[in-house]
């Protein structure tokens, strides 16, 4: 899923509409969480929202969309609550009834970008004290609508946005089938807030560790270790970087497993090293952690995020893993009690925060690629640095927001450049791309166009290939170009220590409906150079291929080979492949 902000959001040109629901009178008072009070207490302002956009493949009547959205609102209590300023300025939260409303058409001014028009709508509709502070928007085009679900941060987090999109799609499918949406009620965020009041005081060691980290940061929350310019909010600069593609991300994760740590810990190791190199200090940052401490909250919507602090002085991956574990433990206690000595969260200009979300591990899924789903942040003024990492099936992505000053562009930009370079280098050098056989090390990597002649030579070097391979090299290069454009294909080459290509194979991930919707790994064209055969190279290549398939969701591997290749069949059989099917082919 792409991680972006409203200025960089990819939107089609179309008619912009939003669905404005009707809100009833204030009802029962609800508990306000520590983070909600801090966020809403800052007052109405532009840019306090977050959103998720996705495209539907065909036009949808507006009444069907509004019916589905009302079903989503009915399911999630936080969407049926509003904030009001109390007499002392302290935000108050109340239940409200939410009913159907009207579609509003938002006209674009001459020369106005769709992104700017959408931003204007959301800045008003999704501010902290709006009633309600969420909005469903649609960009209608002939090909189908782009849907934007947005809400003030006080009522949601990034996990919640996925829940809302999934539930809207589910409800819409029911409506389109002529049925009433059946979305069962889930526990509300207000119930979660209430449950935290029953948690006892944090242990003394937790208080002591918080005090140590804040003292090292000047008695405030951790700040970016390099100068950012004047300590006043200024227009933001947002950088969106594709840090690791799916191949490098898999290799990086394999290295983390080799080190016995999480992928996050290995990223923290890189950030620790870069911070030490540039600033000569440990990595210290605000570290948001989710508070869905029980599976009962997995399908709920709300601000299930609390802040912790991360301090990492040693770039050794195991030390970084310990630092991450400590940060998670420090965030397991209600902040209101922990931060009492500072009178609340001691914010300061330059605050540095690092957020991490591994979408592959969440119990909530949507077809992000098929829907062209995008996480969307608002445009704001800022005096701090905020990093968001997203790890998903297409790789590791990063969004960074910082003040648009000359110093910040220089210092944050350099920090990011060094971090991305370090992560990319670590992925390329990782065990994820290596085959170790005895005292030798081979490397597996995605083939380039320049590798085509060597691969054709390998395909020709046997009793069958010698008779059927022989087309002009341009034909093979055209096929290579088609393969390279298909993200489900991995055309691999294996190199020895002298950079000679000694093996090749084509790996294809094939989604399917059978076997409960299982994805398959198809292995084709596995060849090893004659001089390297009977040394275990082929076995190591297959084991690497299996890991490649598992990392991409495949649960079954399949290989086809000619009947005359008896030795190949025996080889595959030794590795657990069973001859359970009959393969049929015909020339077209």
- The tens digit of pLDDT for each residue in 159-173 reads 999 999 999 999 999
Query: Which residues on neighbouring strands pair with residue 4, listed in sequence order?
Result: 376
Give the whole-number percent of the chain exceeding pLDDT 70. Answer: 99
Q: Between residues 293 and 407, which one has the greater pLDDT?
A: 407
Residues linked to residue 375 through DSSP beta bridges, in sequence order? 3, 52
CA distances from 103 to 63, 127, 264 (A): 9, 19, 43
Quickly tell me which residue has 């592959």 as its tokens.
Answer: 360
From residue 528, give the alpha-carbon distance in Å to each of 51, 150, 458, 501, 556. Answer: 50, 53, 7, 9, 23
* 149 SS3 class: strand
Q: What is the mean pLDDT of residues 213-225?
A: 97
Dist. CA 323–CA 314, nearest whole Å: 9
Buried residues in 446-484 as b, exposed as e (16+ CB within 10 A): ebeeebbebbbebbeeeeebeeeeeeeeeebeeebeeee
Position 567 confidence tier, pLDDT thresholds 50, 70, 90: confident
Is residue 127's pLDDT more than 80?
yes
Classified as helix, coil or strand, 556 is strand
β 374-377/2-5 pair status:
parallel
Q: Give the DSSP per-residue string, 45-65.
A: -TT-EEEEEEE-SS---HHHH
Angle between helices 62-75 and 158-176 (to 10 degrees): 130
- 329-334 long-range contacts, CB within 8 A, separation 24+: 329/206, 330/206, 330/209, 330/210, 331/287, 331/288, 331/289, 331/291, 331/306, 331/307, 332/289, 332/293, 333/199, 333/202, 333/206, 334/34, 334/196, 334/197, 334/199, 334/202, 334/306
Residue with tokens 């001691």: 346
| Distance set, CA 129 to CA 6, 40, 274, 349 (Å) | 21, 7, 41, 25
Q: What is the mean pLDDT of the chain?
A: 94
Average pLDDT score over residue span 482-502: 93
- In angstroms, the CA 235 to CA 251 distance is 37
In this model, does residue 480 exceed pLDDT 80? yes
Give the three-state DSSP class for 443: strand
**Rounded CA separation 476/238 (Å):** 42
Residues 151, 51: Cα–Cα separation, whole Å: 6
Whole-angstrom Cα distance, residue 267 to residue 248? 13
Decide if pLDDT at 107 tops 80. Answer: yes
Classify burial at 94, counting beta carbons within 10 Å of its beta carbon; exposed 0-12, middle 13-18, buried 19 or more.
Answer: middle
d(CA 555, CA 509): 10
Q: Do 545 and 505 form a contact (C-beta atoms < 8 A)?
A: yes
Per-residue pLDDT for 39 more than 90?
yes
| Residue in the block written with tokens 């209430």 | 194
In the chain, pLDDT over 90 holds for what percent of residues?
A: 82
Distances from the Cα of 204 to the Cαs of 125, 201, 208, in angstroms?
43, 9, 6
CA 283 to CA 229: how far, in whole Å?
A: 20
Peptide bond into 398 cis (omega under 30): no
Question: Could you read off the pLDDT of 412-423 as tens digits, one per residue?
Answer: 999 999 999 999
Identify whether the C-beta of residue 302 lies closer than 8 Å to the C-beta of residue 188. Answer: yes
What HEC string does 65-84 produce? Answer: HHHHHHHHHHHCHHHHEEEE
pLDDT digits (tens, 9 = 90+) for 423-478: 999 998 888 788 888 889 999 999 999 999 999 999 988 777 666 787 789 999 99
Calpha distance 139→103 (Å, rounded): 12
Exposure string for 293-322, b = 16+ CB within 10 A, e = fewer? eeeebebbbbbbbbbbbbbbebbebebbbe
Residue 554 to residue 536: CA distance in whole angstroms: 24
Instruction: Say if residues 100 and 70 touch (Cβ distance below 8 Å).
Output: yes
For residues 105 and 259, what is the distance between their CA atoms, to the nearest angstrom? 55
Mean pLDDT of 24-49: 95
Rounded Cα gap, residues 472 and 559, in angstroms: 27
| Residue 301 DSSP code | -
| Bigger pLDDT: 564 vs 456 | 456
Q: Is 429 helix (H, G, I), strand (E, B) or coil?
A: coil
């Amino acid at each position: 899923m792409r991680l972006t902000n409203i200025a960089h959001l990819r939107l089609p040109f179309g008619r912009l509409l939003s669905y404005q629901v009707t809100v009833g009178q204030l009802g029962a008072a609800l508990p306000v969480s520590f983070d909600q009070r801090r966020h809403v207490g800052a007052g109405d302002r532009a840019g306090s929202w977050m959103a998720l956009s996705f495209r539907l493949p065909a036009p949808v009547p507006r009444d069907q969309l509004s019916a589905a959205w009302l079903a989503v609102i009915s399911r999630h209590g936080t969407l049926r609550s509003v904030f009001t300023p109390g007499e002392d300025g302290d935000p108050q939260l109340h239940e409200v009834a939410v009913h159907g409303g009207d579609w509003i058409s938002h006209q674009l001014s001459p020369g106005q970008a769709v992104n700017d028009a959408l931003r204007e709508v959301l800045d008003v509709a999704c501010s902290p004290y709006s009633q309600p502070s969420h909005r469903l928007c649609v960009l209608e085009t002939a090909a189908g609508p782009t849907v934007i679900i947005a809400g003030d941060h006080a009522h949601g987090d990034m996990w919640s946005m996925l829940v809302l999109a999934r539930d809207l799609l589910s409800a819409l499918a029911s409506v389109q089938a002529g049925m009433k949406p059946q979305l069962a009620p889930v526990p509300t965020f207000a119930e979660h807030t209430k449950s935290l009041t029953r948690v006892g005081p944090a242990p003394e060691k937790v208080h002591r560790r918080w005090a140590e980290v804040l003292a090292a940061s000047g008695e405030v929350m951790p700040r970016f270790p390099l100068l950012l310019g004047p300590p006043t909010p200024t227009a933001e600069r947002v950088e969106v970087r594709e840090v690791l593609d799916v191949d490098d991300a898999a290799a990086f994760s394999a290295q983390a497993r080799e080190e016995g740590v999480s992928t996050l810990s290995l990223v923290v190791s890189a950030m620790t090293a870069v911070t030490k190199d540039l600033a000569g200090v440990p990595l210290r940052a605000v570290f948001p952690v989710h508070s869905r401490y029980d599976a009962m909250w997995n399908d709920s919507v709300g601000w299930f995020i609390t802040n912790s602090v991360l301090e990492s002085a040693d770039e050794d991956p195991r030390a970084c893993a310990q630092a991450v574990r400590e940060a998670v433990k420090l965030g397991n206690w209600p902040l209101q009690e922990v931060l009492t000595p500072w009178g609340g969260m001691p914010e300061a200009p330059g605050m540095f925060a690092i957020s991490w979300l591994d979408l592959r591990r969440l119990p909530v899924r949507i077809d992000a690629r098929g829907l062209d789903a995008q996480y969307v942040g608002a445009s704001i003024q800022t005096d701090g640095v905020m990093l968001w990492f997203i790890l998903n099936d297409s790789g590791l992505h990063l969004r960074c927001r910082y003040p648009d000053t000359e110093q910040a562009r220089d210092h944050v930009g350099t920090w990011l450049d060094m971090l991305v370079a370090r992560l990319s280098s670590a992925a390329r050098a990782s065990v994820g791309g290596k085959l170790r056989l005895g005292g030798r090390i081979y490397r597996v990597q995605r083939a380039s166009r320049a590798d085509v002649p060597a691969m054709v030579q390998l395909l020709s070097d046997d009793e069958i290939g010698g008779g059927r391979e022989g087309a002009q090299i341009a034909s093979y290069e055209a096929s290579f170009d088609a393969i390279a454009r298909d993200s489900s294909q991995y055309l691999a080459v294996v190199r020895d220590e002298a950079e000679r290509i000694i093996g090749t194979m084509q790996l294809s991930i094939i989604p399917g409906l059978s076997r409960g919707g299982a994805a398959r790994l198809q292995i084709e064209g596995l060849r090893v150079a004659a001089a390297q055969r009977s040394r275990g190279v082929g076995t190591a290549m297959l084991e690497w291929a299996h890991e490649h398939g598992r990392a991409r969701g495949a649960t079954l591997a399949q290989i086809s080979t000619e009947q005359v290749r008896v030795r190949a069949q025996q080889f595959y059989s030794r590795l657990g492949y069973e001859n359970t099917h009959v393969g049929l082919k015909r020339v077209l």
